[in-house]
Amino acid sequence: MTEEHHDLQSESCRGVSRVLARIGDKWSVLIVMMLADGPRRFNEMKRMIDGISQRMLTLTLRGLERDGLVSRTVYPTIPPRVDYELTPLGHSLREPVMALGQWAQANLDHIADAQARFDRRTAAESEPAGLRPVAY
Amino acid sequence: MTEEHHDLQSESCRGVSRVLARIGDKWSVLIVMMLADGPRRFNEMKRMIDGISQRMLTLTLRGLERDGLVSRTVYPTIPPRVDYELTPLGHSLREPVMALGQWAQANLDHIADAQARFDRRTAAESEPAGLRPVAY
DNA sequence: CTGTATCCTTAGAGATACTG
DNA sequence: CAGTATCTCTAAGGATACAG
């Protein structure tokens, strides 16, 4: 960069967008966080996450594996056993993600308030004729 | 928390998921970053972002406004002028987001490599019969 | 200039059944 | 147990036209 001009399309902004496209989906962060303190098996994760479908667990894990955030180890036993574990890269991602989590924690109420105020404001706009409630 | 047990469904993890659902979409982070150094007008942003549709710019800005991250100021002139600006809350979000951005910057190559290796590995699996390339 | 409204096409995601 | 294969539904997002 030769100037103060922040080019939104290149460099770091592209990077954030790409990472967000990866971990911004419905399950990735949950999975990364779950693997924080050690390897887990497939069905173990499926039970822990509550609401995730087998399909989405597979797809999400494949995606994370492809990006090098998670490693997959197959034990050729019967019945088969597969362990998923965070790679060093995956672990390193936890820091910025947890920073975001703490921001979320700290501001959840603030955001809820803002939403409530916004909704009241916009509701008021669609009913600008005095303060009376609509009486059918 | 009374124990070492990390409940994935409650507390901070819920928070991260909700924030990610908000800023994890295609445009929000880009917009927050663009507003970093001051207010911008609607069309100004539309030109800067490249590829965003008028519809999505409106929707994304409404979402950010609803959550209290962005403020919207209308100047009732002709032609109309509307300024969007980060609220203090919006500014505070920039820190964890930029942390994520720096992680992305630092690991883009690493990730690209992992993807390439993964793709080669999986391509190899679907063609396990020797090393010869498929010759039509 | 700053939006809405509408239509349309995909990508995300759940449910279910089946396989090694 | 750990997946894959389909089918289906919905929501996200783009294109375009119109309005204040």
Neighbours of A13 (CB within 10 A): 19
Q: Nearest residue (Cα to C1') for C13? A: A56
Chain segment A66-99, per-residue pLDDT in tens: 999 999 999 999 999 999 999 999 999 999 999 9
What Rg value do the Cα atoms of chain A yield, rounded?
Answer: 22
Local confidence band at B124 (pLDDT 50, 70, 90 cut-offs): confident
pLDDT tens sequence across A33-53? 999 999 999 999 999 998 999
By CA distance, what is B111's nearest residue in A? A67
Nearest-Cα distance to chain B for A136, in Å, is 30
Is the CB of A80 within 7 Å of strand C? yes
Residues of A whose CB is below 8 A from B33: 6, 8, 13, 16
pLDDT tens readout for residues B26-77: 999 999 999 999 999 999 999 999 899 999 999 999 999 999 999 999 999 9
CA distances from B10 to A49, B1, B66 (A): 11, 10, 24
List the structure tokens of B113. 């490599």
Q: How far is the CA of A22 from the C1' of D7 (A)?
A: 26
Is the pLDDT reported for residue A5 higher than 90?
Answer: no
pTM of the model: 0.87
> Closest Cα of chain B to A124: distance in Å?
15
